[in-house]
Structure formats: structure tokens, C-alpha cells
Structure 1
Amino acid sequence: MEIASDTMQQVKPSVRTGYLEGVALAQRAWAETPLSLRAALMGRLRRRIASGAVELAETVPTNLVGALNRSVADTLVSEVLPLVEACRFLECEAAWILAPKRLGRRGRPLWLAGVDAEVERAPWGIVLVLAAANYPLFLAGAQTLQALVAGNAVLWKPAPGTETAAFALRTLLIECDMNPELLTLLGSNMEAGADAIAAGVDHVVLTGSAETGTAVLHQLADTLTPATMELSGCDAVFVLQGAEIERVVQALAFGLRFNGSFTCMAPRRVFLVGMGETAVADFEARLAGALMDAAPVPISIKTFALLRELIADARKQGAEILLDGIRGESAASHAVGATLIARATPALLSMQTDIFAPILSVMRVADMDEAFAACAACAYALTASVFGPLREARVFAGKLRVGNVLINDIVAPTADPRIPFGGRGRSGFGVTRGAEGLLAMTTPRTIQTQRSHSMRAYQATGSEHIPLFAGLTEMLHGSSLRMRWAGMKRMLAAARKLK
């Protein structure tokens, strides 16, 4: 895909307040554009992407060490296809999601009978998107599109090495008649994001590690800038009695293999609930067999050192290393195969750490209560998967303290554009995507209209008003019909005296 020349020229290594003044002017004009026209931009973009899907996919690097390890085909299915689905969702659904909500009479306090109320969704203004490297097109792209449809302008800071994908999507938006000032691409260094926050953005969306989230929140605290934090995971998989074991094994192998395991919701902890010794041994053997021939993936030196620490800790604490991903020639090149740890406990570092490397720990638990307690020992709460009979799995899922639960599946269904995605605990707060994610790109603005011409409410109150207000409270909220009737009589008597 050829990138428009003006796109590269307009990349801002950093931004200052003066630059944001021009962005704010463009944003205000965009916010006044009818929502139907903002949504129509998504339709044009969707069709434009469809006409050059492979070219767009090829702008995403396939071998970025420590972040990406996939083919163009994988990029098409994991990023381009979900992105056009996100476009269609916004094109078709944004109008009713963001439509003003008129509050009717039901639930309106009696003494406000002359007041009409409406809740609008107003854009934040300028939204800063701090992008991750592992899915640089879909995650940041979907967040950017939601922000734009909601009426915001966007500053997009891509992760290092992923700039071309961001450039390409911006180019397509401009070709679809978007005002270029509505989407600014920043430099990929950390300082670019910090400068943008210092310049005065209105909302921040971060996809990254918990450590990065902590640092960003410290800076945001000075200006009380709101944020959505989509952070790390150390995700759990629960295998209940009656689960289809072959499906579990294949799903885990897929989750560990996909994108080189550089996925925040890749499986890291497996809890075998109520399984006997023979069933556990069979499961572990089948899982080891499925992972044994997984192709080595290159990881960063820092991640390599962390993986080595997790394996050493597991050995020290008495766990069993069924597969050691650091082996032979792969260690010399910092490329690792799958690591499988058996007889894990919640105390293992591998059961508490977010890491972009193919490592999986398996723990045996006697029942659901022990499973919940063991899972809660980890501070991360992004997603979880439950495999088992539907009735039991659904009950189990309803008790999990995580942002997203998948039943009899793993990772892939979360690409559904209708689904809000976000975590809890150390995995962050707030959501992106879905109706809730679109609403998060706005802030409520209420408009209340007084239609009565009476000015009685503006008069000063005194002790003579006590029977009136006390009677009104009893009439509306008394615990019995007799109390409400008595309250009404007291209120009417007080009202007659005040005339």
C-alpha cells in the first residue's frame, strides 16, 4: 500500500499546547457534524479496506521481536477482518447508541413535575490513544474509530516498529474524506505520549502493561484527566469435569501459539477442577504432546531473562517442568519453544506474572471453591475461559472476577465488535469496543428544561415549611398505606396554611 506523502510529513514527533488549539477547532466542527455523517465515514472506510485488505495487512510487521510473530494470513484474520467488522458495527449501531435519551415521567420526583430531562452523549474532545505493539492495527484502530465516530479528534501514538500500519489507516481515512486534522500521528517514543498529556488532552486510552499504566496514571493525576486502561493479563483457564479434553488441549495449544503467545489474554494458568490422578496425567501428557513441536518464537532479551526466572522459580518450589522452552540452540538466539509447568501452586511466579512468551502452568484443584481461591491469588483479571458442560460452566463463569469470560473457547470470540473488552484489578479499568466502549469515548451531558412558570421553589424556607416537606416525604415513601394517607393530609393542611 502506498502511503500518501502528506501523511508522513504530518507526523508529529511531539505536540505542544499551540498545536492542540488547531486540533480542538477541528474537533468542535466535527462534533457538530451530524452523527449519521460521522457513521457514514465508517462505511466508506470499510469498503476501502475491503478493496485492499492484503495491502493493509502487509503494513503490519510479521516478525517484531517481543511483540509480533505471525504470517500475513494471521494478520488478516486477527486484525484486518476484526477492524472492518468494527467499522460495520459503528456504521450501523452508533446512531442509536449515542442518540440522546429523553427521560419520561416514570421515576420523576413529584415536585419536579414541570421539568423535562434529557441525557446527551458529548465527545471528550481530544483523545490520546497509546497503542500496543502486539495488535497495532486492530486494537488502536478500533479505539481510534470509536473516538472519531463519537465526535472526538485523536492523537495516535503507535508502538515502536508499528508506525507504518498507523500511517496506512490514517491515509485510508483521509482518502475517505476525513479532515486530516482529526487524526494526528505522534512519534512512537514514550516522550511523545507524555508530551501530549502535558499539552492537555481530554481522555487517554492505553493498551499496555500494568507498569506502563501506573506511570501514565501518575502523570494524569496532576490534571485529573480521565482514562481507559486496557492492561496486562495472566489469564486463567478452568477445566471442569465433563469437559471435552481434546478441545481443551487444542484450544490451549492455539492460545499459546497464536501471535507467538504475544497476546494479553493468552492462557497462562490452567486449573483442573476435581480431576482424578489418572485423568490429570492423561491431560498433561496430551497437552505436552500438542505443545512439544511448537515452532520457537523470538523474544526480547528482557523477556528471555524473565522466562528463565519463572522456570527456575518453578523448579525451586517443587513444580514439574514437563517442557522447557529454553533449550539448546534456541537459547543462544533468544528464541523459545513452549514451556509447560505441572503441579503448579498459586505461589509460583509463573502463576502471577504477565509475560509475552509461550509458558503455561497447570494446577490441580479439588473443587470450585479452591479454584476461585487459587485464581484470586493473582492480581490480573483480564479474561478467563471455562471448559465443561454448559450448565455448570455458566454457573462457574458467573462467579469469576474478570472482565471477560469465554465458555468452551479461547481468545478468538473477543474480536466480536459488539463485545466490550476490558479487565479488572491489575488488568486495568474501563472498556473499549462494543456499545459500552463507544459510550466511554463520550461523557454524559444532561439538559433539564423547566416548563412551569411558578417561582414558588425560589422562595426561602422556614420552620413553617417543615410539616409540608415531612408530609410529602411520608406520602411518597411511607411504609404503609395508613402512613402515606396521614402524610398526604399533613401536607395538604400545611399547604393551606402557607397560601
Structure 2
Amino acid sequence: MHDAVPNPVRDRLQACLNAQRAALAERGPLSPERRAECLDGLANALIRHADDIATAIAADFGHRSVHETKLADVYSVVAALRHARKHFRTWMKPRRRPIEWMFQPGTGRILYQPLGVVGLIGPWNYPVQLTLSPLAGAVAAGNRVMIKPSEITPRTSALLEQVVGEVFDPAEVAVVQGGPDVAKAFSRLTFDHLFFTGSTSVGRQVMQAAADHLVPVTLELGGKSPALLMADYPIEKAAERIAVGKLFNAGQTCIAPDYVLVPRDRKEAFIAAFRDAVARLYPTLAVNPDYTAIINERHYERLHHLVADARSCGACLHEINPGHETFDPAQGKIAPVIVTDAPDHALVMSEEIFGPVLPVVVYDDVDEACRFIAARPHPLALYPFSHDRKTIDRVLERTRSGGVAVNDTLLHCVQEELPFGGVGASGMGAYHGEAGFRTFSHARSVFHQARLNGAGMTRPPYGSRMNRLLSMLLR
């Protein structure tokens, strides 16, 4: 992140930031009326361009399920925008706070004010959802925003710039495009807040760059999110729900189940149930419009390398190819693979997989499974499957993760009333709904001194009166 950056890149970004700061100084933050207008306008623009978005993302991926795009990259953002539009006036109301008796009749309140100009860096895997969902909270809070979408999805990034331009003036929200050099320069700008979604390794670099100017950051990262199947839960139902979460977007999801822990005596039954679930969900793969391709050749080769490494480490591989198809590498699709008996040093057990490869790990009791999860970096999500409330509570007590979906996968991410974010290596900070509004707001404490008050009792010169007061306070 400290490489030299060409001056034209830095100057172009700085000019955009300067224009937004000038607008903030002259016109202030976005008014409540303008926030409402923009939130409505962006939701309508996304609906209007839903087919264009599906086409652009499919072109960037080589193939991307239209239905997955409209669910994950259009509907989810429209829902976030509408939720913010409905509630932001309530969120922004000042809140009264009680005052200690010795400072009464003074009063206290908290004002929620925009941070100013914030930066958003978006990823490639859900290039609309994970770029514009944070924007909903930033705009609801009244900020001006600069957006750097991913260069890995250039067609979608260009469309994002067009859609945003239909709703916002560049002094309100601006989209800046470019490659890694632009991303590096962007992360060094003196924003009032920087919001990054992407890998843990790049997140570290972003945080280091932001630290040079003490820019606070929200990092939405990833990690190895486990599914934990308990003995009491129906194995067919669990296998199907894990398959849905694993294979949506071909596993290129930051909260996809990365591996699954199963009771030792249920391993073979789970493999069979998972294989059957995949066959029901995707009877074919290579030509199935519902099954998404891997984003590019680099990630395609990375996934093949993970599988080859697991094989070389002595793991057993179980490819699932219901239609017995031959895959053309040029199409970028990979058949799901279950990996069993992988040792801890195998790459599939240490690196985030981000694709349709699922390690299965066996355990003998729930406490052992919890220790296995807790001994590793905190994941972004956890998926425990059990109908026993005490067992679920024990798992939640003994593990840490950004979020949890009990008896399903992914769905906690689309609840606007639940904060979404990581912990430890999976990120810091949260957004969605009111949590997003708070992330992009400054909670400003205001104390109002009363006309008649007892503050004089605590002022020098000190003497017997102060001694009596202190003896009363320090009882």
C-alpha cells in the first residue's frame, strides 16, 4: 500500500474529494428531504436497471445466474434502501440522556450527525449489493460519499457509475473507477470514514493506509465460516440448506459455509445427503443457467490448486457431477467437491475457499467441535444446526463469529434489523439498517447547563465545603 502512485491518479481523486468537501462546507450535509429523495431514487433506478445489472454481472463473471443477481444484487439493496427510507428520521432524532444528580438541573442529549465525506471500496463477488448497501446507511446519515467499485467487474462498475449518476450530483455521491493504483490512492485519502469490503489480506493494507491520516475504518472481510451439524438435526434438511449456502454464486460469498463439522458416525450419511441435495438443486452444472461460473482464470486456478493440494496431503475427494458432464475450462465452472480427511496443514483447512469446495470435519462431541472452531481465527458467520436450544446456546457461548444463522445459512445477512459485520480477523464494525446509520454518524454529546446550578460548589478555592462534598460522594 506504500508504492508510489502516479500524480494524475492521486490528483484526480483529491479533486473529487475537494469538491465534496467544498459542497459540504457551502451547503452542509444532505438534508432529510434530500436523503429521502435519494434513497427512493436509487431504489427506483435499481429496479429500472435490474436487467442491465444482470447482464453486466453475467458478462463480468462469464456466467452468473440471473436469478441470483436479482435476488442478491438488486432486491437486497432495494430492501436496504427502502428500510433506511422508512426509518432514518427516527434514527436521527436526538436522544435525551439522564444527568447525575450533582449536575442537575442540567440536561443531556445525543445528536446523531453525519461524519462528512466517507469512502466506500466495493468487492467483485456481489458488486452491487456490497457497494450500495453501505451507501444506504451513509446517505441515510446525511454524508457525501466517494465510491471505488471493483476493477475485476468493469462492466458492472461502469453501470454503477451510470446508475448513481442518475440519482446523485457528483458533489453528493461520486463513483471513481480504476485498477489497483486507484484503489491504493483511494485508501490514502483523508476521508472522515473509510468502509472496505474484501479479503482479509487487502483489508490489512487498507487499514494501514488509512492509519496514516487517522481515518477510522469499517472492514467487512471474510474467513472460514463453519457449519456445525448436531446429532439431533435431520441430516437431509441440513445438507440441503448447507448446499444452498455453499453453492449460491458458486461459493463466491464471504459468508458461505467454508467447511462443515459433522458427528463422526454421520459423515457418510452427510456426504450422501449433500450429494443428493446438489442433484436436486442443480441436475446439471456445465450448461445450467442457475449455476454460476468462477469470476476469472486466477480464481479458477486457485480453486483447482486447493483441491490438488488436498489430494497431495492425503485427503479424499468426492466430486459431485449429477449430469456426468465434461467441463470446458473456458466456461469457468467447477463441479462441487467434498473433501474429507484433510489434515490441518492442507490449504483447504487454512485458507478461505471462496468456491464450491467443502471440507467435512468429524467430531466426537459438541465441546470438541466448539474447541475446533474457537482455536481458529474468528469467522464472519457460524451455522449451527440443532433443535435443542440448550445445545445452540452452548455453541454460541463457546465460539465467536461475526453473525449466526441457526438451522440455515446466509439468511442473517439479509435482515436489515440485524447488524452485519465481522469480529477479529473477519472484520470490524457493522452495518445494515440502524447499525449502518450509526456507523456513518457521529454521536455528539451535548450537555446544557441550567441557569441556576450547583457547579460553583466544585470550584476553587477548595476548603471545608469541598471536603464535606467529597466525603459524601466517596462513601
**TM-score, normalised to structure 2's length?**
0.86
Deviations 1:48-98 (A, max 9, x none): 443x25334335321534xx7422222111111111111110111111122
Q: Is this contact kept in 2: 1:127–1:202, CA < 8 A?
A: yes
**Equivalence for 2:120:** 129
Q: Is this contact kept in 1: 2:137–2:433, CA < 8 A?
A: no
Alignment of 1:309-348 (within 5 A): 309-323=305-319, 330=328, 335-344=333-342, 346-348=344-346
Q: Is this contact kept in 1: 2:370–2:395, CA < 8 A?
A: no
Give the drift of 1:232: 2.0
Q: Is this contact kept in 1: 2:56–2:159, CA < 8 A?
A: no
**Equivalence for 1:147:** 138
CA distance in 2 between counterparts of 1:149 and 1:169 reads 19
Amino acid at match of 1:187: Q
**Equivalence for 1:497:** none
Q: Is this contact kept in 2: 1:13–1:186, CA < 8 A?
A: no
SS in 1 for 2:56: coil
Deviations 1:202-238 (A, max 9, x none): 1111010011101111111111110000012211001
Give the drift of 1:367: 1.4
Give the drift of 1:137: 0.8
Higher relative contact order (CA closer than 8 Å, sequence separation 6+): 2
Bigger shift: 440-449 or 15-24? 15-24
SS in 2 for 1:238: strand
Give the drift of 1:382: 0.1
Alignment of 1:76-95 (within 5 A): 76-95=70-89
Give the drift of 1:122: 1.7
SS in 1 for 2:151: coil
Q: Is this contact kept in 2: 1:15–1:199, CA < 8 A?
A: no
Deviations 1:465-498 (A, max 9, x none): 5532332224xxx4xxxxxxxxxxxxxxxxxxxx
Give the drift of 1:160: 1.2
Matched, 1:57 2:69: no
CA distance 1:391–1:384, change in 2 (3 Å): same
Q: Is this contact kept in 1: 2:116–2:143, CA < 8 A?
A: yes
**Equivalence for 2:381:** 383
Aligned counterpart for 2:226 among listed residues 230, 233, 236? 236
Give the drift of 1:389: 0.7
SS in 1 for 2:213: coil
CA distance in 1 between counterparts of 2:25 and 2:382 reads 40
Alignment of 1:11-22 (within 5 A): 15-22=12-19
**Equivalence for 1:5:** none
**Equivalence for 1:43:** 40
SS in 1 for 2:271: helix
CA distance in 1 between counterparts of 2:378 and 2:300 reads 21
Matched, 1:138 2:152: no
CA distance in 2 between counterparts of 1:166 and 1:145 reads 17
CA distance 1:170–1:86, change in 2 (3 Å): farther
CA distance 1:343–1:198, change in 2 (3 Å): closer
CA distance 1:77–1:187, change in 2 (3 Å): same
Q: Is this contact kept in 2: 1:53–1:76, CA < 8 A?
A: no
Aligned counterpart for 2:91 among listed residues 83, 94, 97? 97
Matched, 1:27 2:24: yes
SS in 1 for 2:57: coil
Bigger shift: 156-165 or 224-233? 156-165
**Equivalence for 1:450:** 449
CA distance in 2 between counterparts of 1:21 and 1:63 reads 34
Give the drift of 1:347: 4.5
SS in 1 for 2:419: coil
Bigger shift: 304-313 or 334-343? 304-313
Matched, 1:74 2:90: no
Alignment of 1:480-499 (within 5 A): none
CA distance 1:47–1:18, change in 2 (3 Å): closer
CA distance in 2 between counterparts of 1:169 and 1:310 reads 33
Alignment of 1:154-169 (within 5 A): 154-169=145-160
CA distance 1:21–1:421, change in 2 (3 Å): same
**Equivalence for 2:290:** none
**Equivalence for 1:116:** 107
Unaligned 5+ segments in structure 1 are: 1-11, 479-499
CA distance 1:32–1:283, change in 2 (3 Å): closer
Amino acid at match of 1:369: D
Aligned counterpart for 2:260 among listed residues 229, 252, 270? 270
Bigger shift: 133-142 or 198-207? 198-207
Deviations 1:168-211 (A, max 9, x none): 455445545x3331111112312223323434211111010011
CA distance 1:350–1:173, change in 2 (3 Å): closer
- CA RMSD in angstroms, aligned pairs only: 2.9
**Equivalence for 2:270:** 283
CA distance 1:294–1:390, change in 2 (3 Å): farther
Q: Is this contact kept in 1: 2:378–2:425, CA < 8 A?
A: yes
Matched, 1:261 2:259: no
Bigger shift: 418-427 or 87-96? 418-427
Deviations 1:333-361 (A, max 9, x none): 76422121113454443122113221101
Amino acid at match of 1:73: H
Give the drift of 1:280: 2.4
Amino acid at match of 1:96: T
Q: Is this contact kept in 2: 1:147–1:441, CA < 8 A?
A: yes
**Equivalence for 1:493:** none
CA distance in 2 between counterparts of 1:408 and 1:416 reads 16
CA distance 1:414–1:444, change in 2 (3 Å): same
**Equivalence for 1:472:** 472
Percent sequence identity over aligned pairs: 24
Matched, 1:249 2:247: no
Q: Is this contact kept in 1: 2:240–2:273, CA < 8 A?
A: no
Deviations 1:107-147 (A, max 9, x none): x2222113211111121111111000111111111111221
Q: Is this contact kept in 2: 1:147–1:154, CA < 8 A?
A: yes
Amino acid at match of 2:105: G
CA distance in 2 between counterparts of 1:365 and 1:432 reads 34
Give the drift of 1:304: 4.1
**Equivalence for 2:194:** 204
CA distance in 1 between counterparts of 2:182 and 2:384 reads 40
CA distance in 1 between counterparts of 2:103 and 2:416 reads 40
CA distance in 2 between counterparts of 1:437 and 1:145 reads 8
Deviations 1:4-50 (A, max 9, x none): xxxxxxxx896344442221132356655542441243224334443
CA distance 1:193–1:307, change in 2 (3 Å): closer
Amino acid at match of 2:307: I
Larger Rg over CA atoms: 1
Bigger shift: 417-426 or 54-63? 54-63
CA distance 1:13–1:225, change in 2 (3 Å): closer
Q: Is this contact kept in 2: 1:233–1:382, CA < 8 A?
A: yes
CA distance in 2 between counterparts of 1:429 and 1:218 reads 14
CA distance in 2 between counterparts of 1:465 and 1:438 reads 46
